[in-house]
Amino acid sequence: MPTRKTPETLRSHRWFGRDELRSFGHRSRAKQAGFDAPDYAGKPVIAILNTWSDLNSCHMHLKLTADAVKRGVLQAGGWPLEVPVMSAGEMYTKPTSMFHRNFLAMETEEMLRANPIDGAVLLGGCDKSTPGLLMGAFTMNIPVIYMPCGPMMKGNWHGETLGSGSDVWKYWDEKRAGNLSWESWCEIEDGIARSPGHCMTMGTASTMTALAEVLGFCIPGASSIPAVDSAHTRIAAAAGRQIVENVWADLKPSDIITDKSFDNGIAVDMALGGSTNAIVHLVAMAGRAGIRLPLERFDDISKRTPLLANLRPAGKYLMEDFYLAGGIRALLNGMRALLHCDQLTITGKTLGENIDGAEIFNEDVIRTPDRALAPDGGTAVLRGNLAPNGAVIKHAAASKELLTHTGPALVFENYAELKAKIDDPDLPVTKDSVIVLKNAGPVGAPGMPEWGQLPIPKKLLKEGVRDMVRLSDCRMSGTSYGACALHIAPEAAVGGPLALVKTGDLVELDVPNRKLNLKVSDDELAKRRAAWKPAPPRYPRGYAKLYVEHVTQADEGADFDFLQYGPPIPEPDIF
């Protein structure tokens, strides 16, 4: 364990504790804000990085959560300071909040580095906020605790339970097929998001907050607690108390993160039937800690990890049910034989100690390995001449008969073309076609949006078709479902084989054998490659220019090449 800190060895002492001109300035400005020596002298300065925003309805309660964290910090003898950072809200941000995940990671790192901060509690939950905050914190490597915003309440329509995302896609298809009235559609709109909190299916938000806890960065149980449950507030105060202790103990991310902790994260992702997005985020988060996670590691762990959480979109229930069934601690305790329970966490205890005694209260919601929903995990990694660097499919949420399928490609060069043509009654498509979307990857879109649950053509919806094989270099929402092979790398925009596919080419998807192939001869592909030209750059300036010039491919985490691996940036000089 690291040496305990003293008031003189706190990072913030360099700002406030010295007999220097600059320290005079820092203390006088603390007094300008109404603080005095009893507030700050010799105390750990705890930043509460708050992703609250009026632009992010998932996080609208985080001001109250921050107040509870402050209460805990004060109880433990720290000095809490609330710091707003980018919200990266999923719903309004275009082309995708993924475009801003790396921006949030940079902001987190720089806010922590540039200021007199000894430790931080990170408030997030809506999809990209979790990896964004943790990526920045891992690079900065000062003590941090992640405080998830918690899932929202279950949706309701005429007594029927509605799940975020999943039921939107389902009823949108029914509406397009002519089976749902405008009035019913509006009632669903009224009932599907009933409280603060992140999406309450096992989408990206629920997956990533659970994985933040499994990696060791949450107060035990925090990730499963609904946003509006009073336990959320109590846990927030506990996070405030714990972070002060962790600053004194100098318990940093580098003391917690290991290869084994990431293996735990991957195993739990598979047991949860978690979002495919978790793969790209875990690879990026590991990269910030100097750990390389090849896609095969996900596939290997998936093959030996049963599906245990009966949660939508792969299963039946929602996060509120999961919490009442015992939550993440109960799931972990039930699968502890599959985990490295000796891994250290922010409690100063091991993962195994954190989950000791956790009980399952509803065995239909949380299964044990002997009563698993499926013998292997929910996500598979595919390779082949169409995806030499990999692709992923959430086969747990796909139609089983499509997992081995060969069919003719129907190609769209970009999303605008797909939107314009997909409902054309003359579209040359059958239920056996393979819908292909190009130029939707990290560089092509840019930002690799969640367009991957490509719409079923209206003429097929009317015939009763509800799933087809679909391919793209984009992602899909964790709340989505269907036989969608995504994250194809390299992407079309940088000249990956996806760029060479033409309508009518035969595509082979073989999930049991982990294959994704284009049945076109090598000679023909070589001719097409010789004729291929990259699109001219769309972004002459700004963040988008930085993004497309430096973003890595999906299999590398879609982080910026200049932020992965490598040594940390030195502490700032204070002259």
Residue 288 contacts residue 217 (beta carbons within 8 Å): no
556 near ligand FES (CB under 6 A): no
**In b/e form, how buried is each residue of 100-129, taking b as 16+ CB within 10 angstroms?**
bbbbbbbbbbbbbbebbbbbbbbbbbbbbb
555 near ligand FES (CB under 6 A): no
Of the pair 126, 318, the CB lying nearest ligand FES is at 126
Question: CB of 130: closest distance to ligand FES in angstroms?
Answer: 10
Among 120, 121, 205, 358, the residue binding ligand FES under the rule CB under 6 A is: 205
574 near ligand FES (CB under 6 A): no
Of the pair 49, 112, the CB lying nearest ligand FES is at 49
Segment near ligand FES (CB under 6 A); pick from 198-206, 248-256, 259-267, 386-394: 198-206
Of the pair 96, 354, the CB lying nearest ligand FES is at 96
Return the residue matching tokens 């000249």: 495
The tokens for 221 are 């149980």
Contacts (CB under 6 A) with ligand FES, residues 160-189: 164
**In b/e form, how buried is each residue of 511-534, taking b as 16+ CB within 10 angstroms?**
beebbbbbebeeeebeebeeeeee
Beta bridge partners of 408: 506
Question: CB of 392: closest distance to ligand FES in angstroms?
Answer: 20
Question: CB of 478: closest distance to ligand FES in angstroms?
Answer: 8
Of the pair 126, 468, the CB lying nearest ligand FES is at 126
Return the residue matching tokens 């490597």: 141
Question: CB of 269: closest distance to ligand FES in angstroms?
Answer: 17
Contacts (CB under 6 A) with ligand FES, residues 355-414: none
The two most distant CA atoms of the chain are separated, in Å, by 79
Among 104, 112, 117, 126, the residue binding ligand FES under the rule CB under 6 A is: 126
Among 30, 58, 62, 391, the residue binding ligand FES under the rule CB under 6 A is: 58
Of the pair 56, 108, the CB lying nearest ligand FES is at 56
133 near ligand FES (CB under 6 A): no
What does residue 157 show for φ and ψ, rounded to 5 degrees?
-145, 115
Give 282-343 as a DSSP string: HHHHHHHTT----HHHHHHHHHHS-B-B-BTTTSSB-HHHHHHTTHHHHHHHHTGGGS-TT-
Of the pair 306, 452, the CB lying nearest ligand FES is at 452
Cα separation values, 434 from 242, 383, 425, 518, 554, Å: 51, 17, 17, 11, 22
Segment near ligand FES (CB under 6 A); pick from 197-205, 224-232, 287-295, 525-533: 197-205
Q: Which of 198, 402, 207, 205 is nearest to 298 (CA)?
A: 207
| Rounded Cα gap, residues 140 and 447, in angstroms | 24
Q: In the complex, which residues of this chain contact ligand FES (CB under 6 A)?
A: 58, 90-91, 126-127, 164, 198-199, 205
